[in-house]
Amino acid sequence: MQSRATTPRTGRPRSAAADAAILQATRAALVELGWSKLTLGDVATRAGVAKTTLYRRWAGKNELVVDAVAVLFDELELPDRGSLAADIEGVVLQFAALLNRPETATALMAVVAESTRDEPLRERIRTSIVDRQKRLVVEGRARATARGELPPESDPEVAARTADLIFDVVAGAVVHRTLVSGEPADEEWVRAFTQVLLLGLTATPPTP
């Protein structure tokens, strides 16, 4: 049994430096050119790498860009700000700042568009990008439950569904606000959004 089925044990190893150079060149090209005008030949030239090398590692533009952008989502953190409301506001602002970077916004929307007709690509997006964000939701809920701000969830299946719902609402709202509506997710907006979300999760229905 070998450590990785896809990695041969013999022959010249793949250059890790080339990998890093290609991904960085991809991000730079995204900033300058955007999605549609980005060409793999250009990326190869920027990275100081032959075009054939690029095609040996990635099947096409989609896969390359997903990998190039995925690491940016690792920057998201969940600093403990003392209350659930403050935590949500903090992570939403971080996410909004990430979407303000031109390479992130363009790349994310473009690959999602392509993924509607490409199931493997969708799976790649899910594992490389979506799941890295979703952990923040789970973490935040656990922290709030420990604080006593949220009632403890007994049924794990219900908890998972609720986490998915929160995740889609938060990420979707920020993306739609910044990219579709084209208006900034500034502090004022984030405060109003957080209030609605928090109320929706914790409040008791008004008694008539």
Contact residues for a second copy, defined by CB under 8 A: 34-36, 102, 105-110, 112-117, 122, 125-126, 130, 161-162, 164-165, 167-169, 171-177, 179-183, 189, 192-193, 195-206
Which x/- pattern over 124-163 shows residues binding DNA (rule: CB under 7 A)? ----------------------------------------
Please report the DSSP string for 38-83 in residue order.
--HHHHHHHHT--HHHHHHH-SSHHHHHHHHHHGGGGG------SS
Segment 91-130, which members bind DNA (CB under 7 A)? Answer: none
Enter the tokens of residue 77: 């953190």
- Which residues 6+ apart lie within 8 Å of 203 measured at CB? none
Q: How is residue 22 annotated by DSSP? A: H
CA 31 to CA 144: how far, in whole Å? 38
Closer by beta carbon to a second copy, 48 or else 102: 102
Should residue 15 be labelled a site residue for DNA when binding is judged by CB under 7 A?
yes
The beta strands (E) that lie in 41-188 are given as: none
Q: How is residue 126 annotated by DSSP? A: I
Query: Which does residue 143 touch among DNA, a second copy, none (CB within 5 to 8 A, set by kind)?
Result: none
From 3, 4, 5, 12, residue interacting with DNA (rule: CB under 7 A): 12
Should residue 46 be labelled a site residue for DNA when binding is judged by CB under 7 A?
no
Contact positions vs DNA (CB under 7 A): 8-15, 18, 39-42, 48-53, 55-57, 60-61
